[in-house]
């Protein structure tokens, strides 16, 4: 009788079974756009490697031009640099050091884009048109990935911050504008949209930050191969010296090759990154619907 009474007591309609919680997935694993944090990292890492591998020969030529130029002593053109590289190592010389570059570019871009996506989610407040949030997120992305040993080089830091801010804000705005122009074909032409927006972003950021890049180069090369040595490392003093010596045009010296380098690099990087995101979005959707085991 006691057993029957106990059973009846616990079968009271006021008592309902507690529903079991679903499988636990920490919220931090899901950022936005239906992707997990590690998927942003993988997409960014692949994008960085593809970009640097594609642009590595161009960067090699640029480095040789800077090294052979010996500052004010002589001027080295593209043809001279190409001949020097081919004579020293043949066609493989254009890719000398690419292994070290890959080891650095992959992890760096994984941090770049994942930090950017996290900051964009929390700073934009769900508003895709918030350019200020995109700019601040781009700065945060660069700040997280800048090695601490370089933080004391203020010219480099001051150049990277506006470069990434302009870059990301311009990319998001250009992508949104291109999609609004032809929304019905945006999905079919998304590679063109991302590449075009990336090229505009890279070119704009390169143009805006050319004066700071000139200052950084002057500070790095001072006293080497006959280059002028500045009495002070103050950025303001260096700018004043450049203007007095070459006029304001001296602050934008090299803006054309700088834009021609960053435009295709950004186009390759962004189109690859967005393709990686699209792949993971489709993978997650198919997994959730049970079509993938």
**Euclidean distance between CA atoms 18 and 275, whole angstroms:** 43
What is the per-residue pLDDT for 257?
A: 84
What is the per-residue pLDDT for 17?
A: 54
Residue, of 140 and 285, whose pLDDT is higher: 285
249-266: per-residue pLDDT in tens? 888 888 888 898 999 999
Range with lowest mean pLDDT among 75-84, 219-228, 244-253, 263-272:
219-228
**Euclidean distance between CA atoms 192 and 49, whole angstroms:** 20
98-115: per-residue pLDDT in tens? 888 878 888 888 988 888
**Euclidean distance between CA atoms 269 and 51, whole angstroms:** 5
Tokens of 174: 């250009």
Count CB-CB contacts under 10 A for residue 57. 16
Q: Name residue, tokens 């660069």.
A: 142
Tokens of 155: 């010219």
Q: Phi/psi of residue 30, each to 5°?
A: -105, 125
Cα 12 versus chain centre, distance: 61
Count CB-CB contacts under 10 A for residue 18. 6
116-161: per-residue pLDDT in tens? 888 877 776 666 565 555 555 555 455 444 443 443 455 556 667 8
- How large a percentage of the chain has pLDDT more than 70? 64
Residue, of 66 and 173, whose pLDDT is higher: 173
What is the per-residue pLDDT for 116?
A: 85
What is the per-residue pLDDT for 85?
A: 81
C-beta separation of 207 from 54 below 8 A: no
Query: What average pLDDT is seen over the chain?
Result: 75
SS3 36: strand
pLDDT band at 45 (very low <50, low <70, confident <90, very high): very high
Decide if pLDDT at 30 tops 60: no
Q: How far is CA 83 from CA 66, 94, 104, in A?
A: 15, 11, 28
**Euclidean distance between CA atoms 160 and 113, whole angstroms:** 15
169-218: per-residue pLDDT in tens? 899 899 989 888 877 766 667 889 999 999 999 999 999 988 888 887 77
Alpha helices by DSSP H, the chain:
2-10, 37-69, 78-89, 98-124, 131-145, 154-181, 190-208, 210-221, 235-246, 255-288
C-beta separation of 142 from 112 below 8 A: yes
Q: Buried (b) or exposed (e) across 228-253, using 16+ Cβ within 10 A?
A: eeeeeeebeebbebbeeeeeeebbee
């Amino acid at each position: 009788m006691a057993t029957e009474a106990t059973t009846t007591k616990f079968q009271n309609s006021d008592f309902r079974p507690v529903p079991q919680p679903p499988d636990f997935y920490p919220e931090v694993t899901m950022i936005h756009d239906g992707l997990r944090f590690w998927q942003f990292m993988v997409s960014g890492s692949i994008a960085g490697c593809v970009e640097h591998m594609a642009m590595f020969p161009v960067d090699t030529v640029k480095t040789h031009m800077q090294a052979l130029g010996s500052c004010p002593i002589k001027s080295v053109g593209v043809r001279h640099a190409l001949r020097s590289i081919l004579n020293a190592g043949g066609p493989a010389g254009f890719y000398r050091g690419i292994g070290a570059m890959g080891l650095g570019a992959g992890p760096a871009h994984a941090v770049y884009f994942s930090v950017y996506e996290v900051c964009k989610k929390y700073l934009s407040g769900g508003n895709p048109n918030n350019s200020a949030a995109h700019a601040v997120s781009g700065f945060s992305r660069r700040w997280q990935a800048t090695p601490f040993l370089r933080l004391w080089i203020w010219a480099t830091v001051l150049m990277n911050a506006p470069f990434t801010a302009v870059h990301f804000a311009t990319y998001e705005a250009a992508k949104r504008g291109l999609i609004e122009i032809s929304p019905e074909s945006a999905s079919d032409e998304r590679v063109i949209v991302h590449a075009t927006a990336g090229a505009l972003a890279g070119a704009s950021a390169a143009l805006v930050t050319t004066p700071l890049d000139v200052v950084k180069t002057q500070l790095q090369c001072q006293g080497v191969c006959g280059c002028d040595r500045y009495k002070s490392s103050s950025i303001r003093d260096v700018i004043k010296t450049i203007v007095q010596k070459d006029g304001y045009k001296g602050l934008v010296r090299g803006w054309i090759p700088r834009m021609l380098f960053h435009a295709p690099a950004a186009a390759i990087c962004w189109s690859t990154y967005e393709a990686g995101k699209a792949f993971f979005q489709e993978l997650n959707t198919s997994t959730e619907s049970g079509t993938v085991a």
